[in-house]
Structure 1
């Protein structure tokens, strides 16, 4: 596998009940997050969002239905030191495109890159999320019946 491109997506997943899906990373069990993933060459951010949900959760959404909402927000953050080796030499920052989607809590989840998942209240998800950009995205874009 080659080096990662320093451009990714963050997809906040929430239910109609306003609960947020959080994922526990395999490579750092203290790190909980929403769906994230690196954009591949030739891929648009929205294409990456659909691909990453399918890859990480086994949930295939219909692109034609436009289920994923582009939040029209882009973040830039410092890459964790322990992950810098994954990127081209000299890369220290990542650009992150933010999306959100509502899926039923009963959706079958098949984890491929994470240890566990939880459906949490918005407040619990914000408290558990490791990154500040993830916390802010959950606060801004996780909707539903609160």
Structure 2
């Protein structure tokens, strides 16, 4: 079933989060500026050749007898570890992009439980696409972070990665290449340990 961008991000956040989503829904409405939102700032979510001007980062996690473990993936083209990462497509919200990228890169499909994170980063556009894809004035694009709970589902690698592994927080923080991954790992772990999880799907 194809995913389409919601008209009203606040109502969508409430529908998946219930009453607890008031603060997070306000964040989604004001910061993400999803395509089609009434009053969204012009050009906030730019699209060029089907590519939206934002990135997503997704950290699969599981609970074990030794504590929480996080899945990291070794990139085939750069030989470093990171979470699931990718760019949004035209008509997608960050959450929809996160679900698609997680399915494509890790084989995690179905009713996976996603966790919204406040950790956000901006990335030089040339690091992402190798050029000024959205014009000379768009120099950096936002990256939105999520966690996704893994139960008994097997992780399936895509061609973008050569390996994956499960890491403790300390080992994951040392393994990842980018600070944005490190920050999101810390936040996700803290929220899980202290019951501060924002479940968004």
Same fold (TM over 0.5): yes
- Higher RCO structure (Cα 8 Å, ≥6 apart): 1
Residue 131 of structure 1: how far off its partner (Å)? 0.5
Matched with 1:142 is 189
Cα deviation digits, residues 83-124 of structure 1 (max 9, x gap): 5238345343221011112213x5212111211101011111
Q: How does 1:63-82 map to 2 (within 5 A)?
A: 67-79=113-125, 81=127
Structure 2: give runs of 5+ residues left out of the alignment.
Answer: 1-48, 194-201
Contact in 2 for aligned 1:4/1:86 (Cα 8 Å): no
2:77 paired residue among 22, 27, 52: 27
Runs of 4+ in 1 over 6 A off after TM superposition: none
2:148 paired residue among 96, 101, 104: 101
Q: State the alpha-carbon separation in 2 of the partners of residues 82 and 62 from structure 1.
A: 29
Matched with 1:16 is 63
Residue 5 of structure 1: how far off its partner (Å)? 3.6
Instruction: Go from structure 1 to structure 2 and tell me whether the alpha carbon gap of 1:110 and 1:95 turns closer, same or farther (over 3 Å shift).
Output: same
Q: State the alpha-carbon separation in 2 of the partners of residues 28 and 16 from structure 1.
A: 29
Query: RMSD value over aligned CA atoms?
Result: 2.3
Q: How does 1:98-137 map to 2 (within 5 A)?
A: 98-104=145-151, 106-112=152-158, 113-137=160-184
Contact in 2 for aligned 1:78/1:94 (Cα 8 Å): yes
Contact in 2 for aligned 1:22/1:119 (Cα 8 Å): yes
Cα deviation digits, residues 20-56 of structure 1 (max 9, x gap): 1000011101x21001110101001111111111100
Matched with 1:39 is 88
Question: How many residues matched?
Answer: 139
Structure with greater helix share of residues: 2
Q: Secondary structure at the match of 1:87?
A: coil
Residue 70 of structure 1: how far off its partner (Å)? 1.4
